[in-house]
Chain A
Amino acid sequence: MTFGVRSARVRYGDRTAVDDVSVELDAGSVTAVVGGDGAGKTTLLRALVREVALDGGTVTAPDKDRLGYLPASSGSWAGLTVAQNIDFVGGVFGLAGEALAARRAELLAAAGLTAAVDRPASQLSGGMRRKLGFCMAMVHEPALLVLDEPSTGIDPVSRIDLWRLISETAARGAAVVMSTTYLDEAERAARLLVLDRGRALVQGSYDEVRAGFVGTITRDRAAVRPHWSWRRGRERREYWPDADQPAGQAVVEPDLEDIVVALSLAARNREGAAT
């Protein structure tokens, strides 16, 4: 089963938060939605879980009882213990008694939270709290799992652990979509969608994105065309969208960060030229 959105458009007043975005979410794979603050990630994910209505386009998603969602804000109740948080959500989905206890034990063991079962959520570290939110979104074994920035602000060791949980969910056959601001996470997903100011800047597997990138990126101490350049360490990178780069400059094999910055610059420079 493939879920996703087609030609999705969402407006807030006169601002278009998501503009003609399409993405397919396959069972058994992880899709990463990448972008900064204001790119439209949260709006797109909320449209998928039907918390936001589309102004255009279509959503294909399972019913609530097969849909798991971890919002960007916490996702758990601070005053409840780890067990109470899981049990509450489990109850909403009709789990009770031994079935609930077994599911809770399984989830907490996988997340490494067994020892914290009686601790209030308010006393968990940021990484543990995100893992608890993940467990709550997974209680009812959803066919589509939607995670809004599960790894933002948590430490690298917890982040690897969370990525292991996400991988496990996909390995069991669920479609997983997660938003992130970390490009290295997006590189590891089966498919990535880069959003920039509500629009899809680029999408596909990381290999497809690299293969489809047009133009050349060079590096030097100073830029020839400042509007086409950006900082990377002590050097500057510069994007040459056509085959026009000057001879004698070092050409880099672009990584995802180079590609995303280059395409963002191209979008802005095109707009600048049009006005």
Chain B
Amino acid sequence: MSRRDTSRDTSRDTSRSLLRATSVTHRFGDLVAVDDVSMHVEPGEVVGLLGANGAGKTTLIRMLLGLLATSEGEVVVLGGPPDRARRRRLGYVPQNLGLYRDLTAEENLTFIARAYAAARPVLPPDLAAYAGVLVGDLPLGIQRQVAFVAALCHAPEVLLLDEPTSGVDALSGTRLWDTIRAESDTGVGVLVTTHNMQEAEQCDRLLLMSDGKVVAQGSEGDVIGDTTAIAVHTDDWARTFAALNAAGQPVVLDGRAVRVADGHVARLEQILAAEGITARLEPVPATIEERMLVLARGEADTS
């Protein structure tokens, strides 16, 4: 499996980058949590940051926010170091939303706007009916919209979002993306950390981290690279599944077929032949999740 050259920087001019990390490393004792990572977010761009647990996403974000010092390398946020004054120009929506559940939507906005010394934002018309409702009593999709209004009240120049549409229905998810895109259209840079492949597809550019490094970047196709999965078509999926699973293959059910995330055709044919199972094996492009699984298994083999 060939590895792509990920050191190549695709942008021509990074002098206006809203966020830029240059060869940053962070060590916790002997553990290298982030290892020589360079990345940037440009005005008007939505960048997705992907990776399994422990890949280094959170440590990288904490360095970009100035909450964690770099062991090596440099972080530049809005033209300078990530100090308090620059942090005020960022907006952040954590996964747990950062709202007080026992205050109403309106009280939350008043409180958060005061903290940023901003004018209290007006709820958009479709949210006005929820102003006096305790946040804890609101549907999750509405809570997320309120959290966005709160995060945007001080007109941030960069938005950091952690799984912004997780848990909401597909239609509410597209409405949240309307809000995100309305910001990026005015030049705000957006960095989204996500596990959710639907969210990854909404981004302009993806960064895939594994074991502290950026291992691929670009479009969904660039991130998957030449990783393939193998679709196994058979009349008896249950027996096929059982045989491949017993042989330790990373096999999952896919409708009425089974799918092996990280397999070799010859090896799979051997396993199935030993069980007397006839099947047609078809190499298919991997999903981003399968690419991550291949990376994780690669680490386990080498460590």
Contact = CB atoms under 8 A, between A and B. Distances in A.
B269 interface: no
Nearest to A39: B169
Query: Which of A171, A264, A268 has the largest number of chain B CB atoms within 10 A?
Result: A171
B238 A28 contact: yes
Given A156-B288, A160-B261, A164-B245, A182 B171 contact: no
B141 A36 contact: yes
Contacts of B289: 156-157, 159-160, 184
A183 B170 contact: yes
B111 interface: no
B169 A164 contact: no
Contact of A264 (B50, B170, B293): B170
Interface in B169-210: 169-175, 177-178, 181, 195-198, 201-204
Contacts of A36: 140-141, 167-170, 172-173
Given A28-B238, A167-B258, A234-B204, A37 B141 contact: yes
B4 interface: no
A265 interface: yes
A156 B174 contact: no
Contacts of B52: 155-158
Interface residues of A, number: 52
Contacts of B169: 35-39, 181, 196, 260, 264
A184 B194 CA distance: 15
Contact of B195 (A125, A155, A207): A155
A71 to B, nearest CB: 16
Interface in A142-192: 152-161, 163-164, 166-168, 170-173, 181-184, 187-190
A240 interface: no
Contacts of A257: 170, 198
Interface of A: 28, 30, 35-39, 125-127, 152-161, 163-164, 166-168, 170-173, 181-184, 187-190, 196, 205-207, 230-234, 257, 260-261, 264-265, 268
23 contacts: A37-B139, A37-B141, A38-B169, A127-B53, A153-B195, A156-B195, A156-B197, A156-B289, A156-B293, A157-B296, A160-B252, A160-B293, A161-B250, A164-B245, A167-B258, A170-B253, A171-B237, A181-B166, A182-B197, A231-B177, A233-B204, A260-B171, A261-B171
